[in-house]
Structure 1
Amino acid sequence: MSPDDSALLRLVACGGASAPRRRLLELHAGPAAALAAGPGAWREAGLDGDQVRALARIDPPAAWAEWLVAPGHHLLGWHDPDYPALLRRIASPPLALFVAGDPALLWHPAVAVVGTRAPTAAGREHARGFAGVFAKSGLTVCSGLAAGIDTAAHQAALEAGGHTVAVLGSGIDVPYPRANAGLHRAIAARGAVVSEHPPGTAARREHFPARNRIIAGLSLGTLVVEAAHRSGALITARLAAEAGREVFAMPGSIRNPMARGCHRLLREGATLVETPGEVNAALAPLAETLADALRQRLSAPIPELEGAADRPGTGPGSQDPDYQRLWSALCHDPSPMDELLERTGLTTAQASSMLLLMELDGRVVQEHGRYSRTS
């Protein structure tokens, strides 16, 4: 484990308000430097007395470090350039995210699909149908792993061979409800599970509204399928609207109590949708904004690859050898990630970021974990 990861775990463990800890990271060249700056610098960043004392003496539980060093486990802090760009823009972004699976998916254009834990049969089918189309069209399906609509959306995305992200209101290794432990494992293996809570943290009632802000913050828009008049899904929708994201709602029967929350959203200005294509069309321009942020993160645009299939472009970044090598390794026949890594010598993190930007630019398509050129 790196010194920065160890220091970031201590910052997580000290607790208290998140904003001063984010400010401390902004003022220094990473978590290790922030800790080395000492109590005076901590107070200057705004940490209160309890936080300063905790940061000086508390070591995080050994189980946190044990979780982090396991394969496929990641920790993204506020200081990290891989911290999701969209999440930075919400009112109260998390200090850090624990991620099981592929952290690059947190930069992928996503739509949140949320709703009641007790849907009607029709509501469950709507969630499955919409999520399956979103996944096949290239959008990541983001939800909260809860029973009902969330579960249906995650399952449909996986079955479609697409991407899905589950955001937890418990520790990263604590699936809730327990009945979704198998789904938790499947998403960690083929998508990403995310939590701001460290390993071992039990699910608590107050965690779930905070969880909902992350779902809304990672997504370009939020679709509410079915929701009662008082529903956690409405919190997600409100937080999405406050973050300037699109909010969509499905209409239902006036006799269905699980449609009342959606009707309330529609009266308040949410977009009424009847087909997945309406959501896709509304989110397409926003996805380009996210692509621009990813280009800045990678510090080099994808080369213009028009014309002869193996001829590099002449646009900015066209001489980047890593991009050239990865593009040359791609074929029109789908290739799994391990083959691309073997052909290029790139790391998984490097290749994932480049492939994601190629996918956003429409030059690469990914199906069932295999990548191929589109032209």
Structure 2
Amino acid sequence: MADRALEAWLWLARLPGVGPRTSTLIIDAYGHPEAFRAASEADRAAHGLPRAAMRAPHDAVSLQPGIDADLRWAEAGDRHLIARDDARYPTLLTRIGDPPPMLYLRGDPDALNEPQIAMVGARNASENAIHIAEEFAAYLAATGLTVTSGLALGIDSAAHEGALAVQGRTVAVMATGPDRLYPRDNEALADQIADNGALVTEMPTGTPVSRGLFPRRNRLIAGLSVGTLVVEAGRHSGSLETAYRAIEAGREAMAIPGSIHNPRVKGCHALIRNGARLVESARQVIEEVGHAIDGPAPSAPPADPTADPTDWTALDAREIAVLEAMDHDPIAFDTLLQRASLTPDILSSILLKLELSGDVAPCSSGYYMRTSNRAGG
């Protein structure tokens, strides 16, 4: 038989009209959902609770099928129900203003209390930004940090994959119930994350994907982490909300800058103007968050692949000339043709080779740009 106390937490998490802020008021007032459930409506009103909380049912009959579904889901060995009073509940999450009453986790619960760095950004990210996210995540995971993100396509997926590539730890925070997966394209990635960290959500089983739940997910990403790094984000990207929630919680917010002509990084620039730290290498991320980590500081690998190297010995003279003719801003093929004084066929061949080596990335409308892989002369 299930623990009655645990069932009370599951009941609280499913109360209609009672979100994390109201459930926090309830726990502050009563200490435990069982005491709240036993209280009269007048007593609830005396505590100044919102109307939805005052009128919450005293029994679990109407919510019991959902509670039973939660308990059935947790019967598998790698699935866990973690209430606010559970020792496994992440300490950092208790320090935000609206921690969830329940967490539904698949994987290793210990991952939630490991030092975490959040990495977020655009879903329709550029190729260059995907590459940067993977390299940053790999470096940060290699230092011992757990990389946390939201399992979305684009930067989120790149962050998870970068950590996994170095056998690092990663946590994915979901906006659905634990028995649902979004996006479905990331099913294989989700399995890898569960084996090397955790998938976690505050939403009960059966909760489908809904646009309104992503802001709640974003606050958990920020709340679990000592800092949040935005890799690429436009003006209206949801990832900006994650960074602002980090600032609100007293955590570090960081952003990687880009070209002033690139609309995909306007959000990053806005963050920096509003107080986020500008970072250009993964080592700088470690420098920004090291003070916030309890216990030993992350140990930096000997070489930071995200710092711009200057060794061009693998390139021939014409390839170097093309790179030197390019700025880090996107440049049109015809403009580059004039600067490099090459024929179209030769320039196309050189650009293809540089693209394959990761030194150049194609942009839209026939434009190209240098990546951060080589700093140049």
Same fold, TM-score > 0.5, yes or no = yes
Aligned partner of residue 281 in structure 1, secondary structure: helix
CA–CA separation in structure 1 for the residues paired with 2:298 and 2:123: 36
Which residue number in structure 2 is paired with residue 54 of structure 1? 57
Q: By how many angstroms is 1:70 displaced?
A: 2.1
Deviations 1:191-213 (A, max 9, x none): 11111101121110010111101
- Which deviates further from its counterpart, 131-140 or 22-31? 22-31
CA–CA separation in structure 2 for the residues paired with 1:221 and 1:135: 14
Note the aligned Cα RMSD (angstroms): 2.3
- Structure 1 segment 137-286 matched on structure 2, within 5 A: 137-286=143-292
Contact 1:231/1:261 (<8 A) preserved: yes
Which residue number in structure 1 is paired with residue 71 of structure 2? 65
Q: Does 1:126 align with 2:165?
A: no
Aligned partner of residue 257 in structure 2, secondary structure: coil
Sequence identity percentage:
41
Corresponding letter in the other structure for 1:48:
R
Which residue number in structure 2 is paired with residue 341 of structure 1? none
Corresponding letter in the other structure for 1:9:
L
Residue 35 to residue 155, structure 1, CA distance change in 2 (3 Å): same
CA–CA separation in structure 1 for the residues paired with 2:238 and 2:122: 8
Which residue number in structure 2 is paired with residue 113 of structure 1? 119
Deviations 1:319-374 (A, max 9, x none): xxxxxxxxxxxxxxxxxxxxxxxxxxxxxxxxxxxxxxxxx5889xxxxxxxxxxx
Corresponding letter in the other structure for 2:91:
A
CA–CA separation in structure 1 for the residues paired with 2:169 and 2:229: 17
Q: By how many angstroms is 1:13 displaced?
A: 1.6
Which residue number in structure 2 is paired with residue 25 of structure 1? 27
Which of these two proteins has the greater Rg computed from alpha carbons? 2
Which residue number in structure 1 is paired with residue 89 of structure 2? 83
Aligned partner of residue 161 in structure 1, secondary structure: coil
Q: By how many angstroms is 1:268 displaced?
A: 1.6
Aligned partner of residue 148 in structure 2, secondary structure: strand
Contact 1:14/1:51 (<8 A) preserved: no
Which residue number in structure 1 is paired with residue 13 of structure 2? 12
Corresponding letter in the other structure for 2:260:
I
Contact 1:112/1:215 (<8 A) preserved: yes
CA–CA separation in structure 1 for the residues paired with 2:103 and 2:222: 15
Contact 2:290/2:298 (<8 A) preserved: no
CA–CA separation in structure 2 for the residues paired with 1:47 and 1:80: 26
Residue 30 to residue 126, structure 1, CA distance change in 2 (3 Å): same
Q: By how many angstroms is 1:2 displaced?
A: 1.8
CA–CA separation in structure 2 for the residues paired with 1:196 and 1:261: 27
Q: By how many angstroms is 1:49 displaced?
A: 5.1
> Which ranges in structure 1 are unaligned for 5 or more consecutive residues?
292-359, 364-375
Contact 1:13/1:60 (<8 A) preserved: no
Aligned partner of residue 211 in structure 2, secondary structure: coil
Residue 77 to residue 134, structure 1, CA distance change in 2 (3 Å): same
Q: By how many angstroms is 1:26 displaced?
A: 4.5
Corresponding letter in the other structure for 1:162:
G
Residue 159 to residue 362, structure 1, CA distance change in 2 (3 Å): closer
Contact 2:180/2:206 (<8 A) preserved: yes
Corresponding letter in the other structure for 2:162:
A
Contact 1:11/1:55 (<8 A) preserved: no
Q: By how many angstroms is 1:69 displaced?
A: 2.4
Residue 151 to residue 70, structure 1, CA distance change in 2 (3 Å): same
Residue 168 to residue 284, structure 1, CA distance change in 2 (3 Å): same
CA–CA separation in structure 1 for the residues paired with 2:298 and 2:254: 25
CA–CA separation in structure 2 for the residues paired with 1:246 and 1:361: 16
Residue 33 to residue 154, structure 1, CA distance change in 2 (3 Å): same
> Which ranges in structure 2 are unaligned for 5 or more consecutive residues?
300-377
Aligned partner of residue 57 in structure 2, secondary structure: helix
Aligned counterpart for 2:99 among listed residues 93, 111, 116:
93
CA–CA separation in structure 1 for the residues paired with 2:188 and 2:143: 25
CA–CA separation in structure 2 for the residues paired with 1:67 and 1:282: 39
CA–CA separation in structure 2 for the residues paired with 1:219 and 1:77: 19
Contact 2:286/2:298 (<8 A) preserved: no
Aligned partner of residue 254 in structure 2, secondary structure: strand
Q: By how many angstroms is 1:135 displaced?
A: 0.5
Residue 114 to residue 55, structure 1, CA distance change in 2 (3 Å): farther
CA–CA separation in structure 1 for the residues paired with 2:183 and 2:228: 22
